[in-house]
Structure 1
Amino acid sequence: MVRVLIVDDHSLMRRAVREVIEKEVDMQVVAEACNGQEAELQAMETQPDVVLMDVDMPDCTGFEATERVLACSPNSRVVIFTSAHQEQLLFQAIQKGAMGYITKDIEPDALIHAIRCAARNDLCIPGAFATQVLAYLRSSWKVNSVYGGLMSSAVSYRTPRRTIHMSVGGETTLTDASSNLPRPLTDREKQILDLMRKGRKNREIALELAIAESTVHKHVQNIFEKLHARNRTEAIYLTTAEG
């Protein structure tokens, strides 16, 4: 069951999206939020699999809310859900850790497709932006394969996020990944990362490995530092993308 949190300051939009999602037998809307603060609280309480995140909200942007949500619910995948067709916002979404960027004029089937992409850790973007994004990726990493199915409104693929940046002028650039290569993990760190992939919390990992929870915490921090990851989701995502 894919558990979804809907974040949008318009109740009518939340209701419409809920109706689309709850027609799927393997999806469930576990909570709704009308602003970033409420999104953070709901994410902390429900730990959703996927968060549909509006960009324009009264208290903060969807990008700021994305960082808050991932900080308190690191295994969640955020999909930016907006009315704006802007390439620079797409790259800002990816930079903040989002797993997708879709627009509100999307067809119901494509919305479900985007949620499924995020749930399986695939990045989903509007088809109109696919050419630019893939050009950036090929020039920087010489990407050899594209993952996921191509639909009329979206294409999904995997790629490391840590070298995607926004320049001051709003132009999107990809920095050379060779200056920020990850360092190898120890056997214990790999073991802990595997348990993180299974959704284990620090306390559960400590019990399973018969070590102190504080030791697990230190190993997790070392994993983040070595992989240049900001949270569990990104650490798992980066090692999956590069493996």
Structure 2
Amino acid sequence: MSMRHLCREYVSVMAAIADFSTNASDFGGNAFTAGETSSCHAMTGLPSSTVDVEARVAFIDRRPLVRECLSRALINATGWNVSTYGSAGAWLSVSDNVPVSLVVLCIGSRDCTQETDEDICLLDRLAERAPVAIMGDQESPTQIVAALDRSVRGYVPTSLPLHVAIEAMRLVRAGGIYVPASSLIEAQKTNVESASEKPKASSIFTQRQLAVIEALRKGKANKIIAYELSMRESTVKVHVRNIMKKLKARNRTEVAYLASAILDGIK
């Protein structure tokens, strides 16, 4: 499951808390503060250097169980002041009274390119109030680029371990940009594969047509082309017509331009 790492870390934290249940704070509400979780750090054995009580975070997820689990895991691992909301609109409606230094929008398997998703459509407005990090199940380059295009400063896959996800959020909160290295590697691999699949020039044009194209690129007239290639002028005209059909060009100038663009890219 895509949430396995985060949930595993959450279960470990909550198991430690259970051993000290008499000292634990009340987690019954939707908003959790650093004050409520300060004792949890002592119970879980987290070093004091990991506690960042100054951070105020808005955590948004439409799924109540996931929202509660992940927000509590963040609190226990960092000491952040985390407030939870069921939608981006819910936080925006109170954002003037609840300023934050980071917004985390957990979208699950939803697509950042969806124009009908209310939370996705409000990303730009969220980003006007605070740095935004998306937490999602998808790791495709297309998904991540779509998020960045909407002013998001970080894309945190749910496949990451909790401590890595937290460092990514800290980077975004500090003004940086985070994208998973795996997506960059995948994008590079896709580009290499696409390049290897491009057709060879010889599969588009015959050798004689390639010779005519080279002459057209140099601005030579049909008579000169016929003389240099030892063919009839009428034959040159036939080749030019066929080349124009393949390139969907309307004249010799377009042939020279389109052919240059194609040949320079696939030779």
TM-score by length of 1: 0.48
In terms of fraction of residues, the more strand-rich structure is 1
In terms of fraction of residues, the more helix-rich structure is 2
TM-score by length of 2: 0.44
Which structure: larger Rg?
2
